[in-house]
Amino acid sequence: MLWSKNLETGIDMIDEQHKELFRQIDILLDIKNENRIEATLDFLGKYIVKHFTDEQNMHAQAKYPKAAAHKEYHDNYVQTFRKLKEKYIKEGPTVTNNMEVNKTVVGWLKDHILVHDKEFAQFYKSLP
């Protein structure tokens, strides 16, 4: 999963965290790292929570009007990720599970960045 300039929000902390998420997802999806799947999923689960918490703190400080909806979106994703992780650990890196990881992790992250995080970044950078 390649990081590209169009995914940048312009907020350094958020962009660096997103880049780390991309690096970890690459590890997860690399079949050569099969013995690291559980550790990578553990890391991702914790890192996602940290990233979301950091974002939500920025929302609160900025008095972002869509903070509650954004938090709900985060909370729902944490639950989705936990279920995916449990299934992936139980069943292993099957073709179906890899496709689900791509859809759930990669697809969601790109949508989240390109829509929700960019919207927040625009609001945040417009503050005096």
Ranges of each domain in the chain: 13-125
Q: Which two tokens stand for residue 40?
A: 């990578």
CATH match of 13-125 with 1.20.120.50? yes
Distances (CA, A) of 94 to 12, 39, 78, 90: 36, 17, 22, 11
Rounded Cα–Cα distance for residues 30 and 79 (Å): 24
Query: What's the alpha-carbon Rg for the chain, to the nearest Å?
Result: 15
Closest CA to 122 of 9, 3, 5, 8: 9
Find all residues with CB under 8 Å of 116, minimum gap 6, and list them: 70, 73
Residue-level pLDDT, tens digit, the chain, 128 residues: 678 899 999 999 999 999 998 888 887 777 666 677 778 888 889 999 999 999 999 999 999 999 999 999 999 999 999 998 898 888 877 888 778 877 888 888 888 899 999 999 999 999 98
